[in-house]
Amino acid sequence: MSEHLAGRHDGDGPSWSDGDDRRPPAGCGGVGRALPGTAACRPVEDRLRQALVTHEALVHELQHRLRNNLAVVASVLALQASRAGTADAGALLRRSAERVRRLAVIQDLAYASFAGGCVDVDRFVAGLAADLLPPDGPIAVAVRLATGGRLPLGSALTLGLIVSEALANIAAHAHPAGSRGHARVEGGPSGETAWIAVADDGAGVADGAEHGLGPSLGFMLMRQLTGQLGGRMTVERARGTRVVFTLPLPQIPPPSA
C-alpha cells in the first residue's frame, strides 16, 4: 500500500503527509469539504485534469505500441511464409499472420466499446462484423444484436476472438473467391444467458468440424474459447451455416451519463 494511503482518516480518499506537495489545500474535498469549482479546490482540479490528459495520452501511446508490435509479429510470420517449404505450410503461416492482425482490430473495438469498467457487447460485436465483413466486400452482412450484455475487458477480448473466427471463416470459406453472399450476426437475451449467432448462406462446413474433426483450426478455437467463457457452441446446417454461441452475459447497467 502506498504510504499516502496509510492511516486514511475519512474513508473516502487518501490522507496526506506533512510537506507533501500533492496535499490539497485546506478546505478542499475530503479535508474541508469545499465545493468543487471553488478557489480552494482549483489547484487540485487542475492537477486532476492534467493527470487525466496524461493518462489518456499514455493509453493512446500504449495502443499505438501494441498495434505496432502486432504488425512486427505479423510481418515475421509473412516472411516465414515466404520461406515455407510447402504451399500448405505457407498458407498456414499466412493465416496465422491474419489472426495476429485481427487481434489489433479486436483490441481497438473493445476499447472503443468500453465504458464504466465494461465492454458493451452489442456495440463491440457489431463493430467486428463491420470491420471483418466490410460493406465494400463480397459478403453483405446484416446485424441485429440486442443481448444488452456487458463484459469485463478480458472476457470481451475472448468473445472478440470467438466472433472474429466465425466472421473470418465466412470471409474465407463461405463462398468461392469472387462470388457474393450474405451473412447475419444476431443476438439476444435468453434467461440468465445470451445468445449470439453468426450465419451465412455459403457452402457449409464439414460434418464434425465443430468437434475438432477435419482441418479447421477456427472451429476448434471457437469451441475452446466459448468453453473458457462458460458457454457452449452449436452449429446448424440449413441453407448455409449458423454458429450459435450461448454465453453467460451479465446485464450490468451501463454507466449513467
Partner 1 sequence: MARILIVEDEALIALSLAMTFRQRGHEVRTAGDGVEALEALTDFRPTVVVSDYAMPRLGGAELTRRMQARRRAAANRDDGHLIVLTAYDEDKLKADGAVYDRLLRKPIAEELVVDAAELLMHQPAALTA
Q: How far is the CB of 212 from partner 1 (least distance, A)?
A: 28
**C-alpha cell, 125:** 460485436
Q: How far is the CB of 30 from partner 1 (least distance, A)?
A: 36
Residues in 100-159 at the binding interface with partner 1, rule: CB under 8 A: 100-101, 104
Question: Hey, is 137 helix, strand or coil?
Answer: coil
Work out which of 71, 115, 142, 206 binds partner 1, going by CB under 8 A: 71
Report if residue 5 touches partner 1, rule: CB under 8 A: no
Q: Which is nearer to partner 1, 34 or 73 (CB)?
A: 73
Work out which of 17, 54, 82, 228 binds partner 1, going by CB under 8 A: 82
CB-based contact 202:240 (threshold 8 Å): yes
With contacts defined by CB under 8 A, name the span among 3-11, 38-46, 69-77, 192-200 that binds partner 1. Answer: 69-77
Q: How far is the CB of 218 from partner 1 (least distance, A)?
A: 18
Q: How far is the CB of 67 from partner 1 (least distance, A)?
A: 3
Q: Which is nearer to partner 1, 73 or 252 (CB)?
A: 73
The beta strands (E) that lie in the chain are given as 114-115, 118-120, 139-145, 150-151, 181-190, 193-200, 232-237, 241-247
Q: How far is the CB of 184 from partner 1 (least distance, A)?
A: 26
Work out which of 9, 64, 211, 237 binds partner 1, going by CB under 8 A: 64
Report if residue 74 touches partner 1, rule: CB under 8 A: yes
Q: Which residue, among 199, 239, 243, has the nearest Cα to 221 in the 3D structure?
A: 243
Instruction: Say how many Å lie between the first and final Cα of the chain, rounded.
Output: 32
How many angstroms separate the CA atoms of 214 and 228, rounded? 22
With contacts defined by CB under 8 A, name the span among 1-9, 92-100, 146-154, 166-174 that binds partner 1. Answer: 92-100
How many residues line the site for partner 1 (CB under 8 A)? 22
Between the alpha carbon of residue 116 and those of residues 49, 234, 247, 255, the distances in Å are: 19, 32, 21, 5
φ, ψ for residue 111, nearest 5 deg: -70, -35
Report if residue 9 touches partner 1, rule: CB under 8 A: no
Residues 6+ apart with CB under 8 A from 53: none
Between the alpha carbon of residue 38 and those of residues 10, 20, 30, 85, the distances in Å are: 21, 22, 14, 71
Residues 6+ apart with CB under 8 A from 49: none
Write down the residue that cell numbers 473495438 correspond to.
109
Q: How far is the CB of 251 from partner 1 (least distance, A)?
A: 31
> What residues make contact with partner 1 under the rule CB under 8 A?
60, 63-68, 70-76, 78-79, 82, 97-98, 100-101, 104
